[in-house]
Structure 1
Amino acid sequence: MAPDSTGKALSRDEVDRALARLGAEHEAIESSLLALQDHAGRRLLEGAELAGTTRERWARAERLIPLLWTYFDTCTEALHAARQLRARSRYPGEDELRRLSALLDGAHLEVPGPAGEGGRPVEPVGWPELVARVNAGYAGVLDIVAAADAVWSALPARIDLLSAELRRLSALAHSVGVRPGDHPSGDELWRVTEELTALRAEVIADPLAFWISAGGSSAPGGGRPDTARYDRAARALDDIRREVDAVIGVRKDAEERLIRLRDVLSRADRTLAEARTARGEVLAKIAASEVPAVSGPPSLLHEELAAAADYRRRAQWHRLSPLLERLEVRAEEELHRARDSLSAVTVPLAVRAQLRGLLDAHRARAARCGKAEEPLLVERYDAARRLLWTAPCDLRAAEHAVLRYREAAAEALMTRSDS
């Protein structure tokens, strides 16, 4: 509390209350400046080779810290003088109260003036303004110190852990052929390694470039470290790890998959060979029938299978993996196609066998009824049998002959039933 505009002095109680308030403010300033002096982030900043934003802001902060102590010394002197004057008398007179009021008002405290202000070495300030300057300067410096300390506490250790994982993964990737220049993931490993090395150096030199201030927060050090680049590197490393695991899986079961592929293609080749043999037999035994052509063996698949085996011998797992996946699908398709070809070319033989079975079945039924030896049935049976057991077989004529025999047998059986 200060004297009023009329120049009236403070009362004794008002003086004591003002001294207590200013003493508390002085103690708070001293505690803050001492805490700033001992802050781990401040010591790190003083000993670091800084760059960029951090170097610029810390250079200004370093010039401000001695000025804050100067302000504090001014406060100390003024408070000490007021306390000494108050201690002279338990009941100060009017003159002493006016002098105490002037000291506690602090309107004539002198501090170093701003640079370039007409060469004035000092400037007068009031106690409230001086306290406000100290608080603002302290908050600004603490904001820099706390932010740098938070970034240094968070990012370098995490980068080091990620780098250690990267070295382990690089050794594993190299052992399975995932190398720069040979595999996309090998190139990505090299890129992430370079990125982490650069990121760590930048974080150490310029921590404030990796600080995101909390929007709307006035508290010093409010915010969080910017981990975007670290997070991208970590995600890239996860992707590489999955790719390396896939390559290891290919290496583990490559031989078994190659054996299965050879077996599937071998069965397809045998089926196609059987279809070609069957087609020749059909053409020799069946007349007036269109028999589909049979393709040759899948030479391209065999070439790719040989390439896959070569990739395995050379440990080129990144090339082997997609090739095996394609071959497994196409080999199964080739086997189905070969089976379809065999089924298509043997249809006439199946039809002939079916007609033979029908003819014998109708004759057996007629025989059970005692009608098989009737002249008409014998004649038609012999005609149908000659067609079905003669090469080449005319399927259309044979089918007609079987139909005629069935009709004759049905008529004979109906006549027997009526009689």
Structure 2
Amino acid sequence: MTREEVDRTLTRLGAERDAVEASLLALQDHPGRRLLEGAELSGQTRERWAQAEPGLGLLWSMFDTYAEALAAARAVRSRRTRPGQAELTELTELLRGRGVTVSAGQTAHTALSLTSGARMSEQVSLSDLVDRMNDWYARIIAVASAADAVWTALPARIDLLAAELGRVVALARSVGVHPGEHPAGDALAELGKELAALRGEVVGDPLAFWTPRPGAPSTHAPGSAPGAVDTARYDRAARSVDGLRVELEDLLRLRDDADERLEGIGETLARADATLAEARRARGEVLAKIASTEVPAVPGPASAMRERLAQADQLRRHGQWHRLGPLLDTLEGAAQRELQRARESLTSVTAPLAIRAELRGRLDAYKAMAARLGVSEDPELIERYDQARRMLWSAPCDLRAAEHAVLRYQQALRPADRRPYGG
């Protein structure tokens, strides 16, 4: 090497030494590394940290060796302003050659080789020594950064979710939902166990929740992590807690609305009973006033509905909201169907009366038409009108005969309808 090359190399190696020292100091204070040293680890985190942790001491040992070799080279360079050939040869060997003596432990690349090497020492170059420091540093920082990323992301969120779960459990108790009595109560108990287990696993084996980025480089910036925290289990638990909260809030609303809903069902059934009573009264009237008519029977009140309504009231009184909700939904639908059934019965029973009323209306309309045509005093029309009227206003009324009489009166009007008014 020339004098200029020696000076440039010493400057570069000096800057490299300062950078390595800064990285080692940062690693010394890295929160992930400090937590790893004090944690009770398990699983792959314990395995990988057992492989990487010995490198902490090796790094400083290799750094000291590197610094001593650089200091020795600087001492040779400082002997004279313009070094002679002997000094340049010695500097070339120190800076580029394999003139740095390191112990077997300092040359190790894996935890296994720390104890398996037969050689006590090895001659390496400063460049080789830097590469080995970089290799150890990358392995240590990879574990520390990944563990720190997981510990930063998950435990606090799990604690917040556990607190939210506690509030949901309190809500469940307020609406009578308990483990062993309701699926939601069982689900809440299981979620409590899952969150406790998840937190323990995250704290003990954070790397189990770390997903390396595919194709990530083996080295990366200090404190960075080439991957992402796997939050799938936490996310599932969070969704479950939220779903149960919504379900329980529905039960809470049910508790607040139960009285009104029960009252509404009772009113619907009362209207159905009143409609059936009206149908029974109308059936008696039809049988008395309409002759030769098949009148359908009127069904009785829904006593079974009353029993189920009483059961619903008992559930309300005992706070069994999770059982009351489905029952109320069923009762509301059944009450509406019962009311519809009563209305259909009334319509069916009163159909003959409706037909009679329609015939009476038609007869009056035809009489008004006769008056407009000026033929209301026609003897034939008077006779046919009186005959139809007697049939429609007498009891029992023969609807078939009455309809025929109304038709005859209408037919008698048609010739008059074609005559000019007043003709």
TM over 0.5: yes
**Which of the numbers 39, 46, 49 marks the counterpart of 2:30?**
39
Match of 1:48 among 36, 39, 64: 39
Picking from 247, 260, 265, the partner of 2:264 is: 260
Q: Structure 1 residues 53 and 369, CA, compared in 2 at 3 Å: closer, same or farther?
A: closer
User: Following TM superposition, by how much is the alpha carbon of 1:46 offset from its aligned partner in structure 2, in angstroms?
Assistant: 0.7
1:90-129 matches, cutoff 5 A: 90-113=81-104, 114-115=113-114, 119-129=118-128
AA of the residue aligned to 1:255: D
- Report the Cα distance in structure 1 between the residues aligned to 2:420 and 2:3, rounded to whole angstroms: 149
What does residue 296 of structure 1 align with? 300
Secondary structure at the aligned position of 2:154 is classed as helix
Q: 1:27 aligns with which of 18, 26, 41?
A: 18
State the shift of 1:319 in Å. 1.6
State the distance in 2 between where 1:369 and 1:199 align: 96
- The offset of 1:234, in angstroms, is 0.9
One-letter identity of the residue aligned with 1:311: L
Query: Following superposition of structure 1 onto structure 2, how do residues 164-313 of structure 1 map, counting pairs within 5 Å?
Result: 164-218=163-217, 219=220, 221-313=225-317
Percent identical across equivalent pairs?
A: 58
CA contact (8 A) 2:33 2:144 kept: yes
Q: C-alpha offsets along residues 128-178 of structure 1, whole Å, 9 cap, x if unaligned?
A: 111111011101101111111111111111111111111112112211112
Instruction: Identify the range of structure 1 (133-142 vs 335-344) with the bigger mean alpha-carbon deviation.
Output: 335-344
Moved more, 188-197 or 385-394: 385-394
Aligned 8 A contact 2:374 2:422 in 1: no
Deviation at 1:378, TM superposition (A): 4.6
Unaligned runs of 5+ residues in structure 2 are: 105-112
Deviation at 1:363, TM superposition (A): 4.5
Which residue identity is paired with 2:126?
W
Rate the CA distance shift 1:303–1:82 in 2: closer, same or farther, 3 A: same
CA contact (8 A) 1:352 1:395 kept: yes
Q: Normalising by structure 1, report the TM-score.
A: 0.91
Paired residue for 2:320?
A: 316
> TM-score, structure 2 length as denominator?
0.90
Query: 1:377 deviation in Å?
Result: 4.2
1:373–1:124 Cα change, 3 Å: same
1:265-316 C-alpha deviation (Å, 9 max, x unpaired): 1101110121122122212221222323332222333232222212211111
In structure 1, the residue corresponding to 2:53 is in which secondary structure? helix
Aligned residues of 1:108 and 1:126 also touching (Cα < 8 A): yes
Offset of residue 370 of structure 1: 7.5
Per-residue CA shift, 1:66-119, capped at 9, x if unaligned? 122221121122111111111121122211221111111241322232446562
Are the equivalent residues in 2 in contact too, given 1:371–1:412 (CA < 8 A)?
yes
Range moving further from structure 2, 352-361 or 409-418:
409-418
Distance 2:314 2:33 in 1: 61
Cα distance between partner residues in 2 of 1:416 and 1:23: 130
Equivalences, count: 410
Secondary structure (helix, strand or coil) at the match of 1:131 reads helix
Determine which of 4, 15, 18 is the counterpart of 2:6. Answer: 15
Deviation at 1:27, TM superposition (A): 1.7
2:305 and 2:331 in contact (8 A); partners too? yes
In the aligned structure 2, how far is the partner of 1:390 from the partner of 1:327? Answer: 45
Q: Could you say which residue in structure 2 is the equivalent of 1:138?
A: 137
Q: What stretches of structure 1 of length at least 5 have no aligned partner?
A: 1-9
CA-atom RMSD in angstroms: 2.3
Contact 2:212 2:227 in 1 (8 A): yes
285-294 or 193-202: bigger deviation:
285-294
2:402 to 390, 398, 401: 398
